[in-house]
């Protein structure tokens, strides 16, 4: 047999000696670590007491902790007393969660007016929702192409291509201007046609932080109508840009103007339910039959991939969204997080500019957790090696991991490689 490149000769002979043959896992290649999670793990393993982790997109407070929202604690406490069973919830998800989320994402009035034409299925996190959305798109248009922004969140690629759908990229972030290359985006999307899907980030673009303006969203909606492509919106950061309603202007415009939209929304970040895997796939269509069809397809996809949705996060969210006091407490805390990120952006820009004498104005213009610092991969590796400052190889940082303790250290590290 062929020993192959993955298996050392010594392991091959040891296997033959022990079992008489080489078992199949012995040939299995060891994959490289995930480009985001692997770096967060590398930072955890770093013994330098001055290390700084700006890798993964998790909101950290001033003390460097990822807080649990007070409303989540309260809802959870009440749930423990009220819960009478751990039987499965409905395959489509918890009704209170589904209606609460559709109201939050679409806006209560729009949701109520369009209720019969909207379908939703609970999903394990935003990833689960993207995958369910992609499964339904694949069932509807198997030869359709999915257009993703260049760059996009790297996990979009396997989530979508694992359904068998093909990807194409449209220009989005222009490093030279640190902003959206909207002319490039429009030129590329002019090739998107009926049966194609265009994946958009609802707000707080991951990885760039560069968002479309109101006018630009209007143009995209117009293009979807004229060309017949279906928009799909990944909404993982509602409330982290400018506010819960402002952040979904684009999404709601698409829902109002185009015949069908697929939305993958997550409460990982904006309700802090990261580990509870709390997401939803929403499908807006022209009529009740279409809504039923999309929901049935999404449910069938869920059944064949993971069977049932997890309950805990969804039940917490349902309680918070339905209870005026809890909802207000949650919205206030989220608003404070958003304000803190925006003030960190201004502070960071000022300190970078005064230390380096360069223009970092883009950092304060961007939205949400992420920003590309504009370092080369070599520079990003150098600050990791020399200063234990962890950012992605692309120089994406999580602004929400900055604080008054580490900011000067980060500024100095960045200045040292410029
Ligand atoms: C990120 O982009 O860092 C987050 O969305 C977390 C993840 O799963 O990658």
- DSSP class of residue 33? P
- DSSP H or E segment with residue 372: strand 370-372
Tens-digit pLDDT profile for residues 351-408: 999 999 999 999 999 999 999 999 999 999 999 999 999 999 999 999 999 999 999 9
Tens-digit pLDDT profile for residues 131-147: 999 999 999 999 999 99
Instruction: Decide if pLDDT at 1 tops 60.
Output: no
Say what the pLDDT of residue 7 is.
76
Average pLDDT over residues 165-182: 98
The per-residue DSSP string of 310-349 comes to --HHHHHHHHHHH-HHHHHHHHHHHHHHHHHHHHHHHHHH
- Catalytic site residues? 153, 234, 269
Fold that domain 34-67+330-416 belongs to in CATH: 3.90.1150
**Atom 4 of ligand 1, nearest CA residue:** 57
Taking the centre of ligand 1 as the mean of its atom positions, its distance from the CA of residue 269, in whole angstroms, is 10
- Per-domain residue ranges for the chain? 1-30, 34-67+330-416, 88-322
CATH number assigned to the domain with residue range 88-322, chosen from the 4 options 3.40.50.300, 1.10.3720.10, 3.40.640.10, 1.20.1250.20? 3.40.640.10
Average pLDDT over residues 274-278: 98
Q: Which atom of ligand 1 is nearest to the CA of 55?
A: 3
**Mutate which of 35, 60, 155, 267 to test ligand 1's pocket (most atoms within 8 Å of Cβ)?**
155
Residues 126, 265 contacting (CB under 8 angstroms): yes
Say what the pLDDT of residue 3 is.
47
**Mutate which of 41, 66, 153, 266 to test ligand 1's pocket (most atoms within 8 Å of Cβ)?**
153
Instruction: Decide if pLDDT at 200 tops 80.
Output: yes
Say what the pLDDT of residue 8 is.
82
Tens-digit pLDDT profile for residues 287-321: 999 999 999 999 999 999 999 999 999 999 999 99
Tally Cβ neighbours within 10 Å of residue 231: 26
Distance CA 291, CA 283 (A): 7
Distance CA 365, CA 67 (A): 26
The share of the chain scoring above pLDDT 70, in percent, equals: 99
Tally Cβ neighbours within 10 Å of residue 43: 20
Instruction: Decide if pLDDT at 42 tops 70.
Output: yes
Tens-digit pLDDT profile for residues 257-271: 999 999 999 999 999
Instruction: Decide if pLDDT at 2 tops 70.
Output: no
Distance CA 282, CA 280 (A): 6
The four Cα atoms 18, 19, 20, 21 give a dihedral, to 10 degrees, of -120
Say what the pLDDT of residue 5 is.
52
Distance CA 67, CA 249 (A): 28
Distance CA 44, CA 346 (A): 28
**Atom 6 of ligand 1, nearest CA residue:** 57
- Ligand 1 pocket at CB < 6 A: 36, 56-57, 153, 155, 206
Tens-digit pLDDT profile for residues 43-59: 999 999 999 999 999 99
Average pLDDT over residues 153-182: 97
């Amino acid at each position: 047999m062929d020993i192959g490149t993955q298996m050392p000769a010594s392991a091959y002979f040891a296997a033959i000696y022990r079992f008489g043959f080489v078992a199949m896992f012995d040939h299995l290649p060891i994959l490289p670590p995930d480009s985001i999670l692997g770096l967060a793990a590398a930072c955890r393993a770093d013994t330098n007491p001055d290390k700084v982790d700006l890798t993964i997109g998790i909101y950290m407070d001033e003390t460097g902790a990822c807080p649990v929202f007070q409303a989540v604690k309260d809802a959870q406490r009440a749930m423990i007393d009220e819960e009478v069973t751990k039987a499965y919830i409905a395959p489509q998800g918890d009704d209170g969660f589904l209606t609460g989320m559709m109201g939050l994402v679409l806006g209560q009035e729009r949701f109520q007016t369009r209720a019969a034409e909207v379908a939703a299925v609970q999903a394990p996190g935003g990833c689960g929702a993207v995958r369910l959305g992609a499964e339904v798109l694949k069932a509807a248009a198997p030869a359709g192409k999915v257009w993703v922004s260049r760059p996009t969140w790297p996990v979009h690629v396997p989530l979508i291509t694992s359904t068998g759908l093909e990807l194409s990229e449209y220009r989005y972030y222009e490093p030279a201007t640190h902003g959206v290359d909207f002319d490039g985006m429009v030129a590329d999307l002019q090739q998107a046609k009926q049966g194609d899907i265009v994946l958009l980030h609802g707000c707080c673009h991951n990885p760039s932080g560069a968002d479309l303006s109101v006018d630009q969203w209007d143009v995209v909606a117009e293009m979807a109508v004229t060309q017949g492509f279906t928009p799909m919106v990944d909404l993982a950061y509602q409330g982290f840009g400018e506010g819960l309603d402002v952040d979904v202007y684009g999404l709601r415009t698409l829902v109002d103007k185009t015949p069908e939209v697929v939305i993958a929304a997550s409460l990982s970040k904006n309700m802090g339910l990261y580990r509870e895997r709390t997401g939803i796939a929403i499908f807006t269509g022209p009529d009740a039959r279409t809504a039923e069809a999309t929901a049935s397809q999404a449910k069938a996809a869920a059944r064949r991939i993971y069977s049932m949705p997890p309950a805990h996060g969804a039940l917490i969210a349902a309680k918070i969204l339905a209870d005026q006091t809890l909802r207000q407490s949650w919205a206030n805390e989220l608003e404070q997080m958003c304000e803190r990120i925006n003030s960190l952006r201004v502070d960071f820009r000022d300190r970078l500019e005064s230390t380096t004498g360069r223009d970092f104005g883009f950092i304060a213009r961007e939205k949400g957790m992420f920003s590309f610092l504009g370092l080369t991969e070599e520079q990003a590796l150098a600050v990791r090696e020399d200063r234990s400052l962890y950012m992605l190889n692309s120089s994406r940082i999580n602004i929400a991991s900055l604080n008054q303790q580490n900011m000067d250290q980060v500024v100095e590290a960045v200045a040292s490689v410029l």
